Structure 1
């Protein structure tokens, strides 16, 4: 048994030896990690490091070439997709539709795992969808058609759909893409306040500092996992991102921030 295996019994989500190979190229190699219940784990790394691949493997969107994913102690590959969807929601980096639907229609899709012939749509579902729209500041656009939305509005609608799913675990792949700074900060604040376990891939390293822990990927491998200030050392910033970096302290509130410079 892998020495890491016992950690998965108490983890909300985790993986052992996760590997994904496409046309002979390893996009992810031998990644093992566990996500603690209630924590926000940030996934960082340069372009092509395997962040999106890792999230797709953790969610079951992709099947691993080797290794395994465990959700609440159970092998993900052995679970029914409906059961997975009741526990875990995903916001992908590139997700769109050509269907003629409204914002409300898109967000209502998040309730699908909870509906059945014995549990049809109810007033509770209406309220959950309404609250999700409020949380991402889209209630006023609920009747707008999808094709008329901006990229940022679509991104917020995708997040609302995931929130309407009422998951225990939320996986987000660069959720602040296409968002203006006000909505970036709003969405990140919302995610941090949610009573869920969260795994979030981020490009902005200063935004990533708000996570409880960071996993740093480089070349498809996990090269560091721990507290943000321990992971993003000047040496790793140089080797993984190819930039110089040092820490500054904000005189307003004492927060430590990264100052990055090109070589």
Structure 2
């Protein structure tokens, strides 16, 4: 069942066409990776799917309804986004920053409750950031801020999670922990990634090239040697990890 989809999706800035006629259906519960070279349109596609930008052409549907017909509050109750360059200069603490994720669910009739507080604590735990909860935002490193951004998105309790290169600024331990944790969540996930070996763990991959969707399917089916050459300009072949039998990409320049 498709929970998020787009048809004929296009976007341009002035005369530059950044996306061309993207058709995509995201299935409930899957982890869909979005890969492609720099400038291929990964971040732009995520922003259009999240409603952060308006398409020049085409339509996005969330839960079967046109995205542009929904209020930001309704969208935020179903979909959370972690942008690549999200930041703030506000004098705010880590707990309060994560608590902002509960905003779509609060109102005069539904004020802050113990349940909201428990959700924030759980989100911090899920990204290994409980020890940061009393820290000031400004005191955090880049990697720590990234984990807090993800915690805020988790605090929204979304049905769909969109992440734009979430492992940027993270050390290898937290890269692996975050990716494993995100994929274990009972949500539908779209995740833009640079690391193709990390992308192999996704259920499906969408490959973008110069703003066009050039391949869609299971990772080993779409990241073929020919696709790696044509889209990424690299040579590649697969090796089998003797530890667990997993397939690993070995890449080298053409």
Aligned residues: 254
2:20 corresponds in structure 1 to 29
CA distance in 1, matches of 2:177, 2:94: 19
CA RMSD of aligned residues (A): 0.5
Residue deviations 1:43-81 (CA, integer Å, cap 9, x gap): 000000000000000000000000000001110000111
1:209 corresponds in structure 2 to 200
Q: Tell me whether 1:83 sits opposite 2:74 in the alignment.
A: yes
CA distance in 1, matches of 2:47, 2:184: 24
Q: Tell me whether 1:108 sits opposite 2:102 in the alignment.
A: no
1:58 corresponds in structure 2 to 49
Residue deviations 1:76-129 (CA, integer Å, cap 9, x gap): 000111000000000000000010001111100000000000000000000000
In the alignment, which of 41, 44, 47 is matched to residue 32 of structure 2?
41
CA distance in 1, matches of 2:104, 2:62: 17
Q: Tell me whether 1:260 sits opposite 2:221 in the alignment.
A: no
Classify the secondary structure of the residue corresponding to 1:49: coil
CA distance in 2, matches of 1:120, 1:202: 37
Unaligned runs of 5+ in 1: 1-9
2:2 corresponds in structure 1 to 11
Classify the secondary structure of the residue corresponding to 1:137: coil
CA distance in 2, matches of 1:255, 1:117: 51
Q: Aligned-pair distance for 1:253? A: 1.1
1:196 corresponds in structure 2 to 187
Residue deviations 1:123-182 (CA, integer Å, cap 9, x gap): 000000000001111111111111110000000000000000000000000000000000
In the alignment, which of 144, 160, 166 is matched to residue 135 of structure 2?
144
1:220 corresponds in structure 2 to 211
TM norm structure 2: 0.99
Q: Aligned-pair distance for 1:237? A: 0.3
Q: Aligned-pair distance for 1:214? A: 0.1
Unaligned runs of 5+ in 2: none
Q: Aligned-pair distance for 1:252? A: 1.1
